[in-house]
Structure 1
Amino acid sequence: MKYQYTIENLDCAHCASELEEALKQVDGFYDVSLSFVNKKLTLCSKSDPTLKLEEIILKKEPQVKLHSMKNTVVELAIKGLDCAHCANEIEEALRKEGSLHNVYLNFIQRKLTYTTYEAKEVSMQKAQAVIHSLEDDILLVDLQKQQTDTFHKNKLYIVSAIVLFIVALFTKGTISSVFYFIAYLLVGHKVLLKAFNNMFHGKLFDENFLMSIATIGAIVINEIPEAVGVMLFYQIGEYFQDLAVDRSRKSIASMMNMKQEYANVMENNQIVVKNIHEVAVHNRILVKVGELVPLDGVVVDGNSFIDTSSLTGESKLQEVSKGSEVLSGSLNTSGSLTIEVMKDSKESTVNKILELVENASSKKAKSERFITVFAKYYTPVVCFIAAIIAFVLPLFIKEVPFSTFFYRGLSFLVVSCPCALVLSVPLAYFASIGGLSKKGILVKGGNYLEALAKVKTILLDKTGTITQGVFEVSEVVGCEDLLSICALIEASSTHPIAKSIVRSYKGSLDLTRVKDLQEIKGHGITCKVDGFFSAVGNYELIKQYVPNLVECQSVGSVVYVYHNQVYLGYIVVSDKVKDTSIKALKNMKASGLKTVMLTGDSQHVAKAIANKVEVDQWYGKLLPNDKVSKMEEYLSRDQHVAFVGDGINDAPVLALADVGISMGQLGSDAAIEASDLVLMNDDLNDIYIAYHHAKKTQSIVKMNIVFAIVVKFIVLLLVSLGYSNMWMAIFADVGVSVLAILNSIRAMNI
C-alpha cells in the first residue's frame, strides 16, 4: 500500500538525501522517495509505517515533523494588512491558486485560513507569492510567532503632523509651504509608497492610490492645505478604525484565556507537566486550586467547587466530587482534583467552543456578500465618473476653468473608497457573535445570525429542552415483579427513561436472563426473559398483546410491561418543566414569535405540559420521522423556522431547520454538530436574548449600509454640482467609516 507524508522543518537538502537513504534500508519499506523541494515523502508498505517512520526521523532529524498526506488546515497571521477592500482582493487571488483550498481571509482577526495537501512551508511560500504580486509589504507569519500590533508609531506621525499643520496655518509664504510639505510627508509617506508599489501590480483602484492621486492633484492646483488636511484626516480615520477593530479582536482573543495549554499528568506516582495535545484519554491529571481544567473528564479523587462562567456566561459555582463530570475551561476554586481524561484536546469542550467562535466569521451573511459585490463595482464606476468630470466636461463647458473641474474630479476620488461598508458590516457580525459567546450563546456564523433575525416560528422539542430531561419513577402500578422485570429488560437501553427505571430498582440484575432483545424505535423493546416472550414500551406496542388495555392518564411517560402472556402493569416516569421555560416562552411570544412544542409523549402528557408553558401549538405521539415531517410542513408554510432540541434524535430536524438551536451543556455531540446555535447554559431564555440581539445586529448592519451609501451619494452629487469641497469628501470617506465602525461595535453589547 502507498503512503504519503509532508515533511516540516527539513531545511537541509543533504540531510533530506541522507534520510531518504536511511529509509530505503528499512525492512518492509520500498519505493521510498523524499522530495526536498516539495517537502513530500512517499513510500510503500504492507502495514501502516507511521510509528516506525516517526521513530527513525526522531533519531536522525529530531526537529523534523511528519504529517500524514491529507487535507491539512493551515492558519497564518497577516502582518501589514490595513485595508478591508484589499483583503477581499487578496482572498479572491488566493482562491485561484490551485494548491490552496477553502481559502478564507479574516480581515478583522488578520488571519488567513486554508486547506492544502502540500507541506505547510510550501503552501505558505505560494500564498506569500500571490500576496506579493498584489501587496509588497504584507507578510504571512505563523500564528505562534505573531506579535501584538501597536499603534504608537502611527500616533506619533499623526500628532507631529497636526502640530506642523497648525503652525503652517499661522505662517505665510515659503515657511508655511515647508511646514505643510513636512506634515504631508509625515502622514502620507506610507500611503504614497504603497500607491507607488501597487501601480506595478495594476492596482489603480485601491484606497492608497486614489488618496495619493487626489492629494497630489490638490497640491498641483495649489490647494496645499486641503491636500494635507485630507491626508491627515484620512490617517486619523485609519488610526481610529484600527483601534476599533483591535478592540473587537482583543475582546474575542480574551476568550482564549479559558484554554489551559498544559496539564499535570500523573505518571508513576509523579507529576509530569505536558502539553494538552500529548495527554491521552484515560490518563489521570491533577488540577490544582486556581487552575483551569485542561481537558474533559471525570473526577476520581477530591472535592471542590468549579466556576463554569467562561463556558456558560453565568457566574455560578458547581460542587464536584468523585464521579462528577467536569468540562475543560472550568476554573477550580477550592480544592485539588484528580481527573481521568475522557476526551482528547481536539474533542474537548473548550476547544470546540473556541473553534466555533474563530470560524464563525468565515460563514458570511447575505449582507456581507452584497457589500463585497457592491465594492467591486462601486469604486471603478466612481473613478470613471471622476475622470469624466476632470477631463471631459472642461471640453464642453468652456466658461468654467479647467482647475475647477479637476478639483471636483479629485474630490470624487476621495469618496470612491468603499471601506466604510467593507469593514463595518462584517465587524458588526463579528462583534455580535463575540458578545453572544461571552453569554454562553455560540453562533456558528453571521449567516445564521441573519437567519435568526428573520425567524417567525420556533419549534421546540419537549424533553431536555422545555423540561429538565431528568426522569424519575413516580408511579409503579402492578404486580410485585413489575419493576424488576422492566429494569432487567431496560438495562440494555441507553434511553433516559430506561436509565431512570434501572436506577430506581435497587436489586441486582442478571442480564444473562435476557435473550433475543430487539429495540423498536419510538415504541419500546421486545425480548425473551427466562425463555418467555416479554415486551416493555408505550401503549401502542403493548396493545398488540393486550387488546383490552386501558390507557393510563397519569402525567408523564408511561411504560407498560407484558411478560409470559400476562400484562404485569405500568410504570410512570415523570420529567419536570425547567424553571426558566415558562418565562422564556412568554418572552418569545411577546417578541412576535410563534411557539410550537413537539414530543413523543402521549397526547395527554403533551397537553398538560403545553398548557403549563403556554405554547401556541403542540403535537404529541411523534416518532423521530414525524418530527421531520412537522418541520417540513412548517417550512412550506412559513419562510423562516427555527428548531430547538438536545437529543441525538433531534439531529435530522436541527439540520433541516432554517436555524437549528441545540442545548450545548447537556446536549449530544450529534445535535451540536447539526445545529447553528449552541446554548451552553441550557436556558431557553437565551434564545430570546439571541433573537433580540440578532434583530439589533441586523438593524446596525442596515443602518451602516444606508448611512454610508446615502452620505456618499449625496456628497458625490454636491461635489459634481460644485456645492462641496474636498473636506466634505474626506468626511464622506473617513468620517463615515469611523462612525459606521463605532456603530458596529455596539453589537458587542448584549
Structure 2
Amino acid sequence: MEKVIHKEYILEGICCGNCAAKIEKSIKALHGIVSADLDFITQTLCISFKIDADTTSIMGQIREIIKCNDANVVIREKMQLAEGKKEIYLQGLCCTVCAGKIESRIKKLNGVKYVSVDTISQKMTIETDNEHQLPGILRQASEIIQEVEPDIQISYTTDPLKNDNKKCCQKVFLKKSFLAAGTILYVINMSLQFTQAVSFSVFLISYLLIGGEVILRALRNISKGHIFDENFLMAIATIGAFAIGEYPEGVAVMLFYQIGEGFQRLAVSRSKKNIASLMNLRPDFVNLKINNSIQKVSPEEVAVGDSILVKPGERIPMDGRITNGISSLDLSALTGESLPRDVKSGDEVMSGAINKSGLLTVEVSKEFGESTVSKILSLVENASSKKAPTENFITTFARYYTPVVTVAAVVLAIIPPLIWAGESFNIWLYRALAFLVVSCPCALVISVPLTFFGGIGGASRNGVLVKGSNYLEGLNHIDTIIMDKTGTVTKGVFSVHSIIAQNGFSEQDILYYASCAEKYSNHPIAESIIRAFGKTIDTAQIVAHEDIAGYGVKASIDGKTVYLGNSKLMKMYAIPYRPVYDVTGITIYLAVDKKFAGSILIKDEIKPDSRKTIQGLKTLGVRKTVMLTGDTKASGEAIAKEIGMDAVYTELLPQQKVEIFEVLEKERQGNGKIVFVGDGVNDAPVLARADIGIAMGAMGSDAAIEAADIVLMTDEPFKIVSAIRIAKRTQAIVWQNIIFAVVIKIVLLIFAAVGMATMWEAVFGDVGVTVLAVLNAMRAVRTGSMMEMQ
C-alpha cells in the first residue's frame, strides 16, 4: 500500500456544489495527489499526498485553483495539534494590553511550555510540557482570562469569528442593501410611467444593484477559464434579455434568482442545523469536584481520575465510572434505545447519556478527546468525505451536462432563424435564454450529498455510526452477510443454564463445591459458576488445589476430595457418571470423594433478537447469511439452525476466518456486497477485508472504530436491519430528487425550446426545483427517528 500524508482543510464560504466539484476535479489532477474529497456541505477538503510530495508547492497550486473558482473562499488547515497543545478561541478580545497581560500571566504557570495570544484572530495557542497537565493548565488559564477580561467568551471547539467576522457582516449588509434598493427602483419603474430613456436607465441601475455581484463573479471566472457555472448562465440570460429589449424580465429574472439563492442557502443551512442537532451531544460545561466545592469548567479542563457531578436532567459529559448515586440513563441519542437504563455505583457510563433522576458522582476514565461523545462527533463530522457512487456520478454528470445544454442553447438561438424564413431572431434568442436559465444542475449537485449527509445523521440518531456515504449506499446492495458467533449472535457471556443433581446432592451443594474448586481460576466458565453461586467463598476450606490441563480441577474442600471437569476427568479417575448430551452448551461434571454428584450445563446465550435479525435480513433481500465460530461442529450447527442461518463454518482459528471469507467472496453473485459483522477486536482482519465491516457495540474499542466501516452502539444485531432500512430510505430520497429534478428540467427545457415557457418558469426550473429538492433531502434527517418507531 502506498504511503500517504493525510490532511484536512476548511473552505470557509464555499456553498456552490458545482464549484466544489470543479475544485475537487482540478486538485485530483495535480501531481503528488493520491486522493481528494471536497464536501461543500461541511466545507471540508480531505487530501492524501504522496509521501515524497512537495506539499508546500501543491498547496500553492490548490489555493490558486480555489481562488480561480471562487475568490471569496478562505482556506485554512484543520490543525492536528501535537499532544499537549491546544488552540482556544477568545471571542471579544480586542485589547492588545489585555492580551499581553493574559499571555504574561499564563506563561508563569507551572508546566506551560509556550503560549501566544493573537488579538487579530482572537486565538490563544498554549503548549504544555506534559499532555496530562493540559486540562489543569487550561482550567487555570480560563480563570486568568476571565479575571483580566470578564466579557471574553472562551471556545475550545469552533472559531467564533467564523460567524461574527465584521467584514463578512458588512458584506452581507451591503449585499442586502443593494438588493433592497434595486428592488424598490424596479417596483417604482414598473408602477409609474417614465419616458423610454428614463425607464431604461432605472431598469439598468436596478439590474446592476441586484445582479452586479453575479456579473462580476461571472467575469472573474471567465478570466480564469471557468465558464460554465450558474453565474455565467444567469449573466448571459439576463444581459441577453436586455439586448432584445426585455428589460423588465431581465431584472426580474436576476431578482428572483437572488431571492431563490437566498432561500436555497437558508434551506441548506437549516438542514445542516437539523443534522447537527441530532448529534448535539457535546457538553457545554462539567461540574468538577475540587476539594469540597463544585466548579463549572470546560470538558477539556477535566483530567482522568477527576470526580464530576452529574445532576438530574444533565447530559453525562465524560466517560467514567459511578462512585456514588443511583439513577436511570436516557441513551436514546447514543444508542437509539427507547427504554432508560438503570445504573448504580460501580457501573461504567458513557458520555452523551442523559441522567434522568438521581444525583451521580462519576470518576472520569477518559479525557474528553478520547470519550464516546468525541468519537461519535468525529465519525459523523468526517463521514461525508467518503462519497457514495451516486454522488460521484452526479458530479461527473454535472460536469458534462452544463456545457452540452449551453451549446444546445446557442444552436437554438442561431439555427432556427437561418433554416426557417421569416422566423424572428429575437424570439429564438429569448427561448435560448430561457433554456440557459433552466439548465443549471444545482438541484442535483446540492440535494444528493445533502440527502446522504442527512441519512448518516439519522442513522447516528438510531445508534448506527456510518463512516461514509459510500458505505450507507453499499447497504442497499448486500449479497452475503457473514457473522461471528460470540458477541454477535450470542451474548459472549457464559452463564449456568441448568444443574442436574445426583446421589443425594442438592443443586446448592453442587454450586458450592464447584465454586470452591474454581475459586482460583479466571476462566469465563469458572466465573459463571462463581457468579451463579452468589455467595462469599471461605478460602480456608480449600486445603489443596490442582489444575489438570485438558481435564479439569481436583481440590480438597472441607476435608473431601472434589473432582470438577469434563467427561475425560471422570474416566481418568474411574468415576461412574451420567453423561449429558446438549450440543448447544458445555457440560461440567462434579464428583465428591469419587461419588458422582451431578453436572452443570454452561451456555453462551443466544441474543433475543438474533433470530429476528436473520429473518429481517432475508426480508430485505440478503441472499445468504453465514456464521463463523470456533465452537464444535455440533454446537455451531445447532445455534445456526436455531436462528435460521443459511450456512455455518465451525472449529475455526482466527486466521481461518479470512480464508473462509475469501471462499465466500468468490461465491457472491454479481456486484453484491459482502458484509462481515464481528466484535471488532479479534475480527479486525476480516472487518478490514469485507466490502462493509460492521462492529458490534464496540464504541469502547479503538481497534473496532479503526477497522470497521459501520459501528453499532449496542450489542443488538437487529441494528443491522435498522441500518439497511435507513440506507434504503435514504437511497429512495436520493432517487426521488434525481428523478424530480431531471424530469422537471427536461420538461421545462422542451417548453423553453418551443416557446411555451418564459423566463419566469425558467427561474422556477432552476432555483425553485433546487429549493424543493433540498427540502425533500431534509427528510433523510428524520430517518433514524422513523426507524425507532418501527
TM-score relative to the length of structure 1 = 0.75
Correspondence for 1:41 = none
SS in 1 for 2:387: coil
Distance 1:210 1:543 in 2: 89
Deviations 1:337-366 (A, max 9, x none): 332222222321111111111111111000
Correspondence for 2:697 = 664
**1:86 shift after superposition:** 0.9
Partners of 1:538 and 1:559 within 8 A in 2? yes
Matched, 1:680 2:614: no
Letter in 2 for 1:87: A
SS in 2 for 1:409: helix
Structure 1: gaps spanning 5 or more residues: 1-69, 519-523
CA pair 732-667 structure 1, distance change in 2 beyond 3 A: same
Letter in 2 for 1:78: E
Residue of 41, 44, 63 corresponding to 1:108: 41
Residue of 597, 601, 616 corresponding to 1:587: 616
Letter in 1 for 2:684: A
Alpha carbon RMSD of aligned pairs, Å? 4.6
Correspondence for 1:632 = 662
Partners of 2:443 and 2:766 within 8 A in 1? yes
Matched, 1:575 2:604: yes
Correspondence for 2:730 = 697
Paired residue total: 665
Letter in 1 for 2:467: K
Residue pairs, 1:266-277, within 5 angstroms:
266=289, 274-277=297-300
Residue pairs, 1:235-384, within 5 angstroms:
235-255=258-278, 257-260=280-283, 262-266=285-289, 274-384=297-407
Deviations 1:636-661 (A, max 9, x none): 22322323332523333333333222
Distance 2:281 2:478 in 1: 32
Correspondence for 2:506 = none
SS in 2 for 1:661: strand
**1:433 shift after superposition:** 1.0
Partners of 1:289 and 1:334 within 8 A in 2? yes
Distance 1:85 1:681 in 2: 39
Residue of 24, 40, 60 corresponding to 1:91: 24
CA pair 651-126 structure 1, distance change in 2 beyond 3 A: same
Correspondence for 2:676 = 643
SS in 2 for 1:660: strand
SS in 2 for 1:293: coil
Letter in 2 for 1:357: V
CA pair 560-453 structure 1, distance change in 2 beyond 3 A: same
SS in 2 for 1:649: coil
Residue of 449, 454, 469 corresponding to 1:426: 449
Deviations 1:613-658 (A, max 9, x none): 4445555544434544443343322322323332523333333333
Matched, 1:205 2:228: yes
SS in 2 for 1:230: helix
Distance 1:509 1:671 in 2: 40
Partners of 2:330 and 2:355 within 8 A in 1? yes
**1:212 shift after superposition:** 0.7
Letter in 2 for 1:189: G
Distance 2:266 2:720 in 1: 32
CA pair 536-128 structure 1, distance change in 2 beyond 3 A: farther
Residue pairs, 1:462-477, within 5 angstroms:
462-475=485-498
SS in 2 for 1:144: coil
Matched, 1:144 2:159: yes
Partners of 2:372 and 2:700 within 8 A in 1? no
Partners of 1:553 and 1:604 within 8 A in 2? no
CA pair 269-682 structure 1, distance change in 2 beyond 3 A: same
Deviations 1:463-517 (A, max 9, x none): 333333332123467999655555544x1x5xx5564346457547899x99999
Distance 2:702 2:590 in 1: 35
Residue of 130, 135, 153 corresponding to 2:70: 135
CA pair 612-394 structure 1, distance change in 2 beyond 3 A: same
Residue pairs, 1:430-469, within 5 angstroms:
430-469=453-492
Letter in 2 for 1:131: I
**1:238 shift after superposition:** 1.6
SS in 1 for 2:363: strand
Letter in 1 for 2:372: T
Distance 2:595 2:391 in 1: 63
Q: Which moved more, 1:650-659 or 1:607-616?
A: 607-616
Partners of 1:647 and 1:667 within 8 A in 2? no
Correspondence for 2:253 = 230
Letter in 2 for 1:635: E
Distance 1:467 1:316 in 2: 22
Distance 1:196 1:545 in 2: 96
Q: Which moved more, 1:352-361 or 1:121-130?
A: 121-130
Partners of 1:154 and 1:239 within 8 A in 2? no
Letter in 1 for 2:66: I
Matched, 1:76 2:76: no
Partners of 2:36 and 2:48 within 8 A in 1? yes
Q: Which moved more, 1:664-673 or 1:94-103?
A: 94-103
CA pair 344-227 structure 1, distance change in 2 beyond 3 A: same
**1:423 shift after superposition:** 0.9
CA pair 538-204 structure 1, distance change in 2 beyond 3 A: farther
Partners of 2:698 and 2:705 within 8 A in 1? no
SS in 1 for 2:483: strand
Residue of 562, 585, 594 corresponding to 1:557: 585
**1:304 shift after superposition:** 3.0
Letter in 2 for 1:473: V
SS in 1 for 2:486: helix
Q: Which moved more, 1:536-545 or 1:431-440?
A: 536-545
**1:415 shift after superposition:** 3.2
Q: Which moved more, 1:410-419 or 1:242-251?
A: 410-419
Identity of aligned residues (%): 43
CA pair 98-627 structure 1, distance change in 2 beyond 3 A: closer
Letter in 1 for 2:434: S
Distance 1:221 1:539 in 2: 99
**1:536 shift after superposition:** 10
CA pair 226-265 structure 1, distance change in 2 beyond 3 A: same
Partners of 1:482 and 1:561 within 8 A in 2? no
Distance 1:200 1:536 in 2: 87
Partners of 1:285 and 1:338 within 8 A in 2? yes
Distance 2:572 2:408 in 1: 81
Distance 1:567 1:329 in 2: 55
SS in 2 for 1:147: helix
**1:294 shift after superposition:** 2.3
Distance 1:434 1:204 in 2: 35
Correspondence for 1:11 = none
Partners of 2:551 and 2:566 within 8 A in 1? no
Partners of 2:183 and 2:210 within 8 A in 1? no
**1:528 shift after superposition:** 12
Distance 2:489 2:587 in 1: 21
Deviations 1:406-439 (A, max 9, x none): 3343334323322122111111101111122122
CA pair 231-525 structure 1, distance change in 2 beyond 3 A: farther
CA pair 138-671 structure 1, distance change in 2 beyond 3 A: closer
